[in-house]
Structure 1
């Protein structure tokens, strides 16, 4: 069983770069089209939608995005939507909103250059892809070792063992992210209540 063959089309390093975002404000349909063209390879099946009008409206209503002007989305809005896209599959919308609250406030007050922050995020994600590749290699070696001991003699059992490992690690990371959200303190939080 070659795990790399099974996982080769994951497109883990597929991220929306700031250079791919036009320097003009976009209407919602254009934003959806941009995300669909960039992330369509990340969909599990063809029926799945990367981004919908309802999703974007819910992000705006939930204050995950600073206010939209004239029904057009700026480059900063699109960068935020890209971060939401990554976070929403793991965290609740409420947790995503709490995580991005300070960023939204700072961007709307012109106290944060979001593109620079986003570039840092992209560098972290590049590193994460390398770490993931190392993890996969280690897991494959571990499964081979078990196979040599005849614990998991079939490809099916090896695959289930890997699925259990991946979901276990996913849960570890999700729980760590939730714990960080629970303990997240934004410096200007109290100023909003005044």
Structure 2
């Protein structure tokens, strides 16, 4: 296994909260935090980083990022939503996450929406994305390596790393901006629907 493959492996990209990880019983907040800490411990950048805290969960609840809990217990639907919030907040603002999930929360409380089927699709697409990411990293690295050969510098390893970081942050920004445009589109649709109801 080469250095890049080991680097990708250490990112633990395939670590998601699976349906098998979610208990059938409703959980108290401390149990939710423990579940997420155990599941995502190896994905943290350092030991001091927290995956999930009481403050975060309270802020999500106050901000209405998920539908209200009953008797201070979180259902499997809440855990799936919190898992999605955890992933989304790495790229989107909390307001954008709220806007994205608003209609889903409404469907969960007002309709017979099967979140488990939706979440399973989300996990499947994420699995496909991990494979795509691995391929893309190798493709980017090959392109960067070719460019570095043209740079006249004694520290080519650093220049290669620098270019690779620049490429990855560019790609990340492209995807984030695309996601923000889609969030705005959801917001416009919601506002249009509210305007029609008046």
Q: Would you say how many aligned residue pairs link Structure 1 and Structure 2? A: 193
Report the equivalent of 1:100. Answer: 101
For the 8 Å contact 1:25–1:72, the answer to whether it is kept is: yes
Q: d(CA) in 2 for partners of 1:60 and 1:171?
A: 28
**Following the alignment from structure 2 to structure 1, what is the Cα–Cα distance between the partners of residues 29 and 143?**
47
Give secondary structure in 2 for the equivalent of 1:14: coil
1:95, 1:181 within 8 Å by CA — same for their partners in 2?
yes
Q: Distance in 1 between matches of 2:190 and 2:152?
A: 49
Contact 1:40 1:50 in 2 (8 A): yes
1:104–1:8: structure 2 CA closer, same or farther, 3 Å change rule? same
**Which residue matches 1:160?**
162
Contact 1:102 1:188 in 2 (8 A): no
Q: What CA distance in whole angstroms lies between the structure 1 residues aligned with 2:57 and 2:3?
A: 39
- Measured in 2, the distance between the counterparts of 1:141 and 1:151 equals 18
Structure 2 residue aligned with 1:43: 44
Q: 1:34 to 1:174 in 2, by over 3 A?
A: same
User: Given the superposition, is the C-alpha separation of residues 151 and 83 from structure 1 closer, same or farther in structure 2, using an over 3 Å criterion?
Assistant: farther
Closer, same or farther: CA 187–123 of 1 in aligned 2, 3 Å: farther
Contact 1:102 1:189 in 2 (8 A): no
Alpha-carbon distance, 1:151 to partner: 5.2
CA shift for structure 1 position 76: 0.2
1:190 corresponds to 2:194:
yes
Taking a change above 3 Å as real, the CA distance of residues 120 and 189 of structure 1, as seen in their structure-2 partners, is farther
- Structure 2 match to 1:170: 172
Larger proportion of helix: 2
Q: Where do residues 90-169 of structure 1 align in structure 2 (5 Å cutoff)? A: 90-150=91-151, 154-169=156-171
Instruction: State the Cα deviation string for residues 105-146 of structure 1 (Å, max 9, x = none).
Output: 111124311111000100110111111011111011112212
How far apart are 1:189 and its partner, in Å? 5.3
Structure 1 segments unaligned to the other structure (5+ residues): none
**Cα RMSD between the aligned structures?**
2.0
The residue aligned with 2:13 is 12
